[in-house]
Amino acid sequence: MWMIAILRSYVIIMSNITYNYHDTFVFFDGNVILRNFKTGNDTVITFGFMRCGSYCWLAEQQETFHIEAGKAVFVVDGEESSVSKGSIMIVPKGKKFTVKVLEHLDYRCQYD
């Protein structure tokens, strides 16, 4: 697995909150792209994209995924949860989890 950080300047306004572009990471040979934005109080939201495939992660903080498009199965502690557009998936802090992407997945992720 390799990672590339890409720096650009972007601002996104959602629900009267301004998110300033922070950084981008590319994982799994370019199949996963994470674009991080921050608010003035350093709250982070990730705009993520995963191509079809299976990806293993560790939740260093609680992660709340808001699925914008695509289909996937999240596996946490051996329990499978199917997600699609409009779904919300919460992965507890400290958990290893796998995302099995069935259709390219576009999502937003917040951290607690």
pLDDT of residue 40: 79
pLDDT of residue 7: 44
SS3 string, the chain, reads: CCCEEECCCCEEEECCEEEEEEEEEEEHHHCEEEEEEECCCCCEEEEEEECCEEEEEECCCCEEEEEEEEEEEEEECCEEEEEECCCEEEECCCCEEEEEEEEEEEEEEEEC
Cβ–Cβ under 8 Å, residues 76 and 27: no
Q: What is the mean pLDDT of each run of 10 residues along the chain (112 residues)?
A: 44 67 95 93 94 98 98 98 98 98 98 94
pLDDT of residue 88: 98
pLDDT of residue 11: 53
pLDDT of residue 3: 41
CATH class of domain segment(s) 4-111: mainly beta
pTM, to two decimals: 0.85
